[in-house]
Every structure is written in structure tokens, then in C-alpha cells.
Amino acid sequence: MNTAVPSPGDRTPATRPVVHLFPGQGDFAVSPLVRAARAHPCVRSAVAEVFDQAARAGTEFGIAPMGEALLSDTPPSGRDLAAGPVGTPQLALFCSSVAIHRALCEAGQTPEAVLGVSFGEIAALTAAGVFDVADGARIACLLARQLTRCAGGMTLLGAGENRARALLREAHAPDLALACVNDTGETVLSGPCPDLRAVEQLAGRQGLPTSRLRLPFSAHHPSLTGPARAFEAAIRPLAARPARIPVVSVVHGGPYGPDDDVHRGLANCLIHPARLPEVLHRLTARRPALLLEAGTGRALTRNARHTLPPAAADAHAPLAEPGYPWPPATATWSRLDDHTPLAPR
């Protein structure tokens, strides 16, 4: 993968459509957002704007406004957010992702499509205009409430899909599910914590790395039909508008179409697996893309680099790459000169 960071004067990426990638909950930290807001005016203004637009919705769930605190000299930590009312970390992640998307747009890196992974679909749909920020914030908080009913945990496994399935068979862990396929050498398992511990121990004996995600719930598990139905019913009154740009859902397996039910699609993220590689291949099959991670980490960028050949995509994580060249708002290096559409589902 060509990992050279593009610069405003580099015209090569101009022929590639920009796609913003919205991550799920497993790779969120507050400090990169704070650093970027202090260093780049476009990030700071976007953070202030988005958190302000979400503040009223947050108070409906007992969550105090966070924008001013995040931009202060003593911002809250991730631990502080986790100790807040239910939904506080999810609301912070949602607002952060939408703010990063807006900052990238302000910097001339407007996307032709957006891609959401699991929880990231809420921000992706908001970025595409399907929901406004207030309703997106409500959806994030309503999902957080349902996640309290999703007992268990999730483990990152340094193995591909076939090896992961073999490990589940060897561990005799039928209650675990293969929740996510991130790339050819990385998957996520979901289910009861005792079963996860057994698989982690077996993986360790086989030399496979594991890491328990710091998420106190399971997801992408077929047993979660009850929380999924309740979540869908709770968000159904929030109207979905036509998307301004394609919204690619990793759980859905491609872009949502005009006849697809996005409320059901969001609920499906609780019970269906997320398979990123095949969606990335479809997305870049017709035309190479410039992939920019609208999150505070770099996990999606790493997965994309492991999945796609250099000719298919350049992938970057602007908040996680030191020295990433945020261009001025007048720059046009990432605006599209060639409007060949991205590959359909």
C-alpha cells in the first residue's frame, strides 16, 4: 500500500473519489480529537458546531453538553466519558466522527461516498443527510440503552476468518459468533465472557494474538434479536431523508438503495456480522479511491491497507497520522475531476 500522505499541491489524488470511513466503537480515544482541535481551526470549529447541535438531544438522555469541555484546557478523558450517564461515550464518538467529516469537507476533502462500520453507520447516515445531527445523536443514545441488554464482550483475534472459525470449533464454543471480519488477518469474536476467555487461552497456546475490546457488551451476535427489535422500534419515529451521497454499509454488504430500510439496517448491526474486505473490494472495483478515516483512530485505515492493493486505494487516518497535511479551506486537490461512479453493490 502506498502510504505517502497527499499534500494540497499533489494533483494525483484528484482523479480518485474521496470516501470517508466511519469506524465502530472499538477504536475511539478522546486525546487525538483534542490535539487536532487545538492544532487545526477547521477541526475546532467543526467540533464546536456538531457538539452544540447534539447537545439538546443529549440532555434528553441525561447527558450534559460536552463541546465546551472538550475544547477547554482540561478536557474529559475517555475514562471520564465512560463514567458518565449511559450513552455518553456513544454520543461523544458519534459527534466526533461527524465533526471530523465536516472538518475534512471544509479542508477540501469532500467525499463522493461514505462508509459506515457498525456504530459508524449512524454518523455515516448523518453525514449523508439521512438524519440531522440531533436525530443522529438520539439514535446513538438509544442504541447505547439497548447495548446495556447485550451481555458479554468482544475479542479482537489476530487471525483470518477460516482460522477464527476453526478456533471456535476447537474451543467448543457454540455460543460465540464471528462478529467482524476486518481483513485477511484480523477478526472479532462476540459472546459470553467465559467463552471468550476460553478461546483467548486456546489462541494464546497456538500463538495467535488476542485483545479484549474495552466494550462492556456483545454485538453482531444472532442471539440479540430482542435488543435489535427494541432498538428498531425506538428509532422508527425518526424520519429518514434521501441520502445526498451513497452510504455504504459494511453490515448491509454495500450501499443502501432508495428502497432499503435504514432503520432496519441499523438494527441489523446488533445481530449480523460486519465483513469489511468484500465491501472494500466492491467499492474500489471500478475506480481507485482515496479513503479517509473519520474517526480518532487508525484501525479502519490499517484494515484497508491490509485488504486493498496499492493501485486500488490510498488510505489515511488524518487524526492519527502525525503531520497529516490539513489543507486550507480553499484547497481543491481532492475535488473530483472525473465523475466515474464508484462500483455498485
User: Which residue range forms the structural domain that includes residue 137?
Assistant: 15-149+230-316
**Residues 245 and 302 occupy one common structural domain:** yes
Q: In the prediction, which pLDDT does 4 show?
A: 45
Domains of the chain: total: 2
CB-side exposure of 268: number of CA atoms within 13 Å? 16
**Residues 266 and 282 occupy one common structural domain:** yes
- Residue 138: give its domain's CATH number: 3.40.366.10
State the Cα–Cα distance between residues 339 and 106, nearest whole angstrom: 20
Q: In the prediction, which pLDDT does 199 show?
A: 97
**Residues 47 and 181 occupy one common structural domain:** no
**Residues 42 and 107 occupy one common structural domain:** yes
Q: What are phi and psi of 317, to 5 degrees?
A: -120, 90
**Residues 141 and 159 occupy one common structural domain:** no
329 inside domain: no
260 inside domain: yes
269 inside domain: yes
186 inside domain: yes
**Residues 65 and 184 occupy one common structural domain:** no
167 inside domain: yes
**Residues 168 and 29 occupy one common structural domain:** no
Q: DSSP assignment of 82-131, as one string?
A: HTSSTTHHHHHHHHHHHHHHHHHHHTT---SEEEE-TTHHHHHHHHTTSS
328 inside domain: no
Q: In the prediction, which pLDDT does 322 show?
A: 85
Q: In the prediction, which pLDDT does 74 show?
A: 96
pTM: 0.91
189 inside domain: yes
**Residues 145 and 208 occupy one common structural domain:** no
**Residues 188 and 243 occupy one common structural domain:** no
State the Cα–Cα distance between residues 159 and 326, nearest whole angstrom: 35
The tens-digit pLDDT sequence of the chain (345 residues) is 333 444 433 434 446 899 999 999 988 999 999 999 999 999 999 999 999 999 999 999 999 999 999 999 999 999 999 999 999 999 999 999 999 999 999 999 999 999 999 999 999 999 999 999 999 999 999 999 999 999 999 999 999 999 999 999 999 999 999 999 999 999 999 999 999 999 999 999 999 999 999 999 999 999 999 999 999 999 999 999 999 999 999 999 999 999 999 999 999 999 999 999 999 999 999 999 999 999 999 999 999 999 999 999 999 999 999 888 886 544 433 333 333 445 543
Domain boundary among 163, 180, 212: 212
Q: In the prediction, which pLDDT does 223 show?
A: 97
Q: In the prediction, which pLDDT does 323 show?
A: 82
State the Cα–Cα distance between residues 126 and 101, nearest whole angstrom: 10
**Residues 236 and 181 occupy one common structural domain:** no
284 inside domain: yes
- Residue 172: give its domain's CATH number: 3.30.70.250
**Residues 254 and 110 occupy one common structural domain:** yes
**Residues 101 and 238 occupy one common structural domain:** yes
For residues 109 and 115, is the Cβ–Cβ distance under 8 A? no
